Amino acid sequence: MNNPREKVKLFWSNSLKKNSQLYILINIFFGFFILMSVLMPGTFLSRGTMQSMMIQLPEFGIYALAMMFAMILGGIDLSIVSIGNLSSIIASQFMLNHMVTHMGGTGNVKIVVMGICIALTVGAACGFFNGFSVAVIEIPPMLATLASMSIFNGISTVLTKGASLQGLPEEYSVIGGKNLFGIIPMIIIIFLAIALLAYFVQKHTKLGMKMFLIGSNVKAAEFSGINHNLIIIAAYTFSGLLSAIAGIVLTSRSMSAKMDYGLIYQLQAILAVVLGGVNPKGGSGNVWGVVMAVLSLQVLSTGLNILNLAPTSYVKNLIWGLLLISVLVINYYADRKKKSIR
Instruction: Please identify, using beta-carbon distances, which residue of 44 and 69 lies nearer to other proteins.
Output: 69
Contact between 215 and 228 (Cβ < 8 Å): no
Residue 305: which of 129, 6, 43 has the closest Cα? 43
Burial class (CB in 10 A: 0-12, 13-18, 19+), 172: buried
Choose, by CB under 8 A, the member of 17, 206, 337, 338 that binds other proteins: 206
Contact between 73 and 215 (Cβ < 8 Å): yes
Q: Does residue number 178 form part of the binding site for other proteins (CB under 8 A)?
A: no
- For 18, phi then psi, to 5°, come to -60, -30
Q: Tell me which stretch binds other proteins (CB under 8 A): 19-27, 150-158, 201-209, 241-249.
A: 201-209
Q: Does residue number 288 form part of the binding site for other proteins (CB under 8 A)?
A: no
Alpha-carbon gap, residue 336 to 342, rounded angstroms = 10
Q: Does residue number 221 form part of the binding site for other proteins (CB under 8 A)?
A: yes
Contact between 212 and 72 (Cβ < 8 Å): yes
Q: Does residue number 17 form part of the binding site for other proteins (CB under 8 A)?
A: no
Q: Residue 157: which H helix or E strand, with range?
A: helix 141-160
Choose, by CB under 8 A, the member of 203, 313, 322, 334 that binds other proteins: 203
Instruction: Please identify, using beta-carbon distances, which residue of 40 and 209 lies nearer to other proteins.
Output: 209
CB of 229 to other proteins, least distance (A): 10
CB of 203 to other proteins, least distance (A): 8
Instruction: Please identify, using beta-carbon distances, which residue of 100 and 193 lies nearer to other proteins.
Output: 193
- Bridge partner residues of 132 (DSSP): none
CB of 164 to other proteins, least distance (A): 40
Choose, by CB under 8 A, the member of 209, 263, 324, 327 that binds other proteins: 209
HSE-CB at 341 with a 13 A cutoff on CA atoms is 6
Choose, by CB under 8 A, the member of 43, 157, 164, 227 that binds other proteins: 227
Choose, by CB under 8 A, the member of 96, 147, 226, 304 that binds other proteins: 226
Alpha-carbon gap, residue 342 to 334, rounded angstroms = 13
Q: Does residue number 216 form part of the binding site for other proteins (CB under 8 A)?
A: yes
Alpha-carbon gap, residue 242 to 83, rounded angstroms = 9
Contact between 211 and 202 (Cβ < 8 Å): yes
Q: Does residue number 217 form part of the binding site for other proteins (CB under 8 A)?
A: yes
Chain residues in the site for other proteins (CB under 8 A): 203-207, 209-210, 212-213, 216-217, 219-227, 279, 283-284, 342
